[in-house]
Structure 1
Amino acid sequence: MTIALAAPARIIILRHGEKANKWKLCDTGEQRANALAANYLGRGAAKSLFASGDEPAFFFAITLHTLELASPAVASWNKPVILYSVVPEADRDKDTQTKELNQRTQQAASNIMTNPALAGKTVVMVWEHKHIANAKLEAKFEGEAVTLRKLLKLDILPGVPATWPDDTYDYFWIVDFPANSNVPSRFSMVKQEFGAPYAGVPSNDWDAPNGLEDASGCEIKDD
């Protein structure tokens, strides 16, 4: 059976916001969610990532953190979030959760790249950063694509980082596909920069410290 080529024209990838714990974002992460809706991803955003007259076909998420980050922008478009859900459970070990994230990432990528309803559209993926790009994870599951970097064939393009850093929450990856092709033709990174009232939301350079301290109420080191 031949799988039809039905890739979106553009996929916008970003990470969830800063988190308080396994279940929710911290105040900074909540501010980032609102700032993204107002500045980049929401209807009428000041620096919209969508072309004039265009709108996102769908938003995709995978964890509670990614769902929370996406929600303000999605609500502005009166759209649902498509959630390939992996939720934290007290008795689930890390290896089991990683394998579930692997599987759900694979399922989401397959749907997005073969769904005719998304062909030529723009979609937004708010994702868990190790399953966007992580060299150690890819090495552990060698021969089985488990990151968006591998699943979307981003590794064939120049300038695509091998790993998304733990302290970096403030970038978009923008991937363009030519018509009738599932092979990406262009990759760019866009830094999230906010003015008032969101000027306090971290906007550090790629792989640079984000300046958050324990008093912020945010987890400082990602699990």
Structure 2
Amino acid sequence: MTPDRIMIIRHAEKPVGDGAGPGIDTNGAVDSESLTVRGWQRAGALARFFCPNAGGSSVQRKPDAVFATGSGPSSTSKRSMQTVAPLVALLRETSFVHYVDSYLKDEREALMKEVLAQPGVVLIAWEHKVLPSLVGCLSKAPAVPARWPDDRYDMVWVLDRTPAGWSFAQLPQLLLAGDSAIPISA
């Protein structure tokens, strides 16, 4: 099987030197490997972005499988897992969702092999510097921007399966104040 759609997001906001505030873990303790308060806000908003209330028009956004970067010796960040945690919890309230957080950020080929074995719609939340190379693991991969900007947390890359390979589009999240509708450029 191959998914019909693969959506890729960067994990939500992290602590940076521009006054974003500290990372905060699920218990409210300061943790540099966790999301900032704004990141937690985005994570909560993404749950309904990808799984709208009954009658919502975003059926093609509802994932059947969710992949998040795992935490391990080479990267102890919890941000990707925290970003999708509210969505996975919401999906599990009403249906089954295949959730995987066992791949580390540099295990691109193994990740994409499992992604390509999934039916339906797949969501990947990953570290931004690796995102273009994830797409590059696809057979007949479409052209995507070569770099995901350090300051962008507000975009979804959408890859739809076509007879010729994959198409590429960008979907602005527009969930929080300051989010931009301007696509990420090459």
Structure 2 length as normaliser, TM-score? Answer: 0.74
Residue equivalent to 2:29: none
Choose the corresponding residue for 1:192, options 154, 157, 173: 173
In the superposition, relative to structure 1, how do residues 43 and 81 fare at CA in structure 2: closer, same or farther (>3 Å)?
Answer: farther
In the superposition, relative to structure 1, how do residues 46 and 70 fare at CA in structure 2: closer, same or farther (>3 Å)?
Answer: farther
Q: Which whole-Å deviations, capped at 9, do the CAs of 1:70-89 have from their partners, x for residues lacking one?
A: 01111111045311343xxx
State whether structure 2 residue 113 is matched by structure 1 residue 110.
yes
1:1-223 to 2 correspondence within 5 Å?
A: 6-20=1-15, 21=23, 22-38=32-48, 40-44=49-53, 49-51=58-60, 55-63=62-70, 64-78=78-92, 79=97, 81-86=99-104, 101-102=105-106, 104-113=107-116, 115=117, 118-119=118-119, 121-133=120-132, 147-153=133-139, 156-158=141-143, 160-178=144-162, 183-184=165-166, 186-194=167-175, 199-200=176-177, 202-204=178-180, 205-206=182-183
Q: Secondary structure of 1:30's match?
A: helix
Percent of aligned positions that are identical:
28
Q: Secondary structure of 2:147's match?
A: coil
In the superposition, relative to structure 1, how do residues 55 and 191 fare at CA in structure 2: closer, same or farther (>3 Å)?
Answer: closer
Q: Is the 8 A contact 2:51 2:62 kept in 1?
A: no
Q: Is the 8 A contact 2:50 2:62 kept in 1?
A: no
Give the Å deviation of 1:157.
2.6
Give the Å deviation of 1:152.
2.0
User: Higher Cα Rg: structure 1 or 2?
Assistant: 1
Structure 1 length as normaliser, TM-score? Answer: 0.62
Identify, as 1 or 2, the structure richer in strand: 2
Root-mean-square deviation over aligned CA pairs: 2.6
Q: Is the 8 A contact 2:67 2:100 kept in 1?
A: yes
Gaps of 5+ in 2: 16-22, 24-31, 71-77
Give distance in 2, aligned partners of 1:67 and 1:48. 26
Q: Secondary structure of 2:158's match?
A: strand
In the superposition, relative to structure 1, how do residues 106 and 162 fare at CA in structure 2: closer, same or farther (>3 Å)?
Answer: same
Q: Secondary structure of 2:80's match?
A: helix
The total of aligned residue pairs comes to: 158
Q: Is the 8 A contact 1:42 1:48 kept in 2?
A: no
